[in-house]
Structure 1
Amino acid sequence: MPEIFADLSTPLVADACVRHGVPLRVAPPGIGAVAPGHRVAGRVLPVRHYGSVDVFLEAFGGAEPGDVLVIDNGGRSDEACVGDLAVLEAETAGVAALVVWGLHRDTPELVEIGLPVFSYGAFPPGPVRLDEREPEALSTARFGTHLVSTDDLVFGDEDGVLFVAADRADEVLATAHRIRDTEREQARRIRAGETLRRQTTFDDYLARRAVDPSYTFRQHLRRTGGAIEE
């Protein structure tokens, strides 16, 4: 799974989702890798946290190699829900990474372990609560306004994290590769002295918009084969 995302980025995948009408399910802003440069790509292994690590241990029993543990901790900022022992155990279960809607702790140890962990930051205290467990504890996880399950893939890099339905992933990733190639060629031409305005025949766009105010730049890009937006 990481190989198919190796030369892509979350912005490219997001643009491809828009192009195909696939719902944009993006983690709320602010999420990042504990160790800079880490990336994530894999099937979602969902789990909801209620204050005890036991739910993680139970989730690991159903893990498949390469899964990404997606932890729903409600976006809480008053506790860290994962630390070094949970991450080490995830590694032994074949989990490829962890993505947390919440906070982590034991930062130096997590960096040393090397398993990618994405969260909203570090916080020393662990949970002191123990909430009632929901029936969906191991079947779905909330992440911001989104609900994810094993039917979804998760991708993460320096720009953030997003989720894509597994049954739409092939077309989305194929389009993301095409957008990447187009943008690379556009960047090469800019460096060679051909402005983006010239590449996109921007003057033509302005002239046509003057006649037809409903004509959008996005429509123009589709007609001319550009890939700046979407």
Structure 2
Amino acid sequence: MLKEFAGLSTAVVADACVRLGVGLRAAPVGVSGAVVGARAAGRVLPVRHYGSVDVFLEAYGGAREGDVLVIDNGGRTDEACIGDLAVLEARAAGVAGIVVWGLHRDTAELQAIGLPVFSYGALPLGPLRLDEREPEALLSARFGPHRVSAEDVVFADADGVVFVPGERVGEVLEAAAAIARTERAQAQRIAAGGTLRRQTAFDAYLERRAADPSYSFRQHLRRVGGAIEE
């Protein structure tokens, strides 16, 4: 999946979801990579954290090569739920990356390991609690307002994290690649002196909007073949 994501970004994946009417599920703002330039893409390996690392070790037992561990720690900012040993074990299990709705620690070690880890940031304090485990601990994870499972695929990069239903991922990536090609071509024309307003026939858009206030710029872009908003 990471190979299919090569040359793309979460931005164009999100735009493709909008264009295709796929329910857009993006991680809350603030989730970023602990390793500079990190990118991850793969089937979701969901897990809910209750204060102990044992749930991660159990999840690794069901991991497929290339899965991305998605940790539901409730978005907590009072503890770091993942550190270097759990990340090393993830790599040994074939996990391709980790996305945390919460915090991590051992940043220097994680950077040396190099496995992509995305979270709200770092905190030296580990968990001091041990909560009751739910039956769905290894079946689904919450990430902000979203619920994800092994039926989903996750994409993560410097812009954030996006979840896509596995059954729609092929068409989403195809649409994302088309959007990316259009945007690169537009960028090259801008660099060569062809303004974006000229490329998108912006004057014609303004003229039509004046006659029909319901005519949106997105409609116009679809008509002229531009890609800016989606």
User: Which bin holds the TM-score, normalised by the shorter protein?
Assistant: over 0.9
Distance 1:68 1:48 in 2: 14
Measured after TM superposition, the shift of residue 163 of structure 1 is: 0.3
Distance 1:63 1:99 in 2: 15
Give the aligned partner of residue 159 of structure 1.
159
Give the aligned partner of residue 215 of structure 1.
215
User: Which residue type is aligned with residue 60 of structure 2?
Assistant: F
Q: CA RMSD in A?
A: 0.6
TM-score, normalised to structure 1, is 0.99
Give the fraction of aligned pairs with identical amino acids, expressed as a percent: 72
Give the aligned partner of residue 96 of structure 2.
96
Give the aligned partner of residue 227 of structure 1.
227
Measured after TM superposition, the shift of residue 133 of structure 1 is: 0.4
Measured after TM superposition, the shift of residue 158 of structure 1 is: 0.5
Distance 1:180 1:114 in 2: 27
Unaligned runs of 5+ in 1: none
Measured after TM superposition, the shift of residue 189 of structure 1 is: 0.8
Distance 1:84 1:211 in 2: 61
Aligned-partner SS, 1:87: helix
Aligned-partner SS, 1:203: helix
Deviating 4+ runs (over 6 angstroms)? none
- Paired residues, what number? 230
TM-score, normalised to structure 2, is 0.99
Distance 2:136 2:20 in 1: 30
Give the aligned partner of residue 200 of structure 2.
200
The question of 1:109 aligning with 2:99 is answered: no
Give the aligned partner of residue 47 of structure 1.
47
Deviation track 1:119-153 (CA, whole Å, cap 9, x = no partner) reads 11000110010001001000000000000000000
Aligned-partner SS, 1:47: strand
Measured after TM superposition, the shift of residue 229 of structure 1 is: 1.1
Distance 2:194 2:168 in 1: 36
Measured after TM superposition, the shift of residue 227 of structure 1 is: 0.5
User: Which residue type is aligned with residue 219 of structure 1?
Assistant: Q
Measured after TM superposition, the shift of residue 114 of structure 1 is: 1.1
Aligned-partner SS, 1:172: helix
Distance 1:117 1:197 in 2: 39
Distance 1:213 1:61 in 2: 57
Distance 1:110 1:197 in 2: 44
Distance 2:220 2:89 in 1: 51
- Equivalent positions of 1:66-215 (< 5 A) are 66-215=66-215
Measured after TM superposition, the shift of residue 38 of structure 1 is: 0.6
Unaligned runs of 5+ in 2: none
Measured after TM superposition, the shift of residue 22 of structure 1 is: 0.4
User: Which residue type is aligned with residue 147 of structure 2?
Assistant: L
Measured after TM superposition, the shift of residue 13 of structure 1 is: 0.2
User: Which residue type is aligned with residue 35 of structure 2?
Assistant: A
Aligned-partner SS, 1:155: strand
Distance 2:42 2:122 in 1: 24
